Structure 1
Amino acid sequence: MPTLFRFLFICAVIAGSIYGIMVALVTFVEPSEREVTIRIPSERVNPPQ
């Protein structure tokens, strides 16, 4: 039985650290906005017939 408790404790620590990392990313990382332009060749839009 102690092995099960140790396993569950390790899983809880891993899940808690992942949750903490996600909260830190949401709190401290600010995404930067920029304009995106994608050029599409006219041959792909209007294929020759």
Structure 2
Amino acid sequence: MPTLFRFLFFCAVIAGSIYGTMVALVTFVEPTEREVTIRIPSERVNPQQ
């Protein structure tokens, strides 16, 4: 039974570190906004029949 507790503790540590990393990313990383322009060829918008 001690190996089960050790395994569950190991899984909890991994899950906690992943959660902590996600919280740190949300807190410290600020996304930059920029204008995006996508050119669409006129053949795709107005297909010839």
Task: Give the TM-score taking structure 2 as reference length.
Answer: 0.97
RMSD of equivalent CA atoms: 0.4
Task: Give the TM-score taking structure 1 as reference length.
Answer: 0.97
The runs of 4+ residues in structure 1 deviating greater than 3 Å are none
Identity %: 92
Partner-residue secondary structure (3-state), 1:7? helix
Partner-residue secondary structure (3-state), 1:39? coil
Distance 1:23 1:44 in 2: 42
Q: What is the count of residue pairs matched by the alignment?
A: 49
Distance 2:48 2:26 in 1: 48
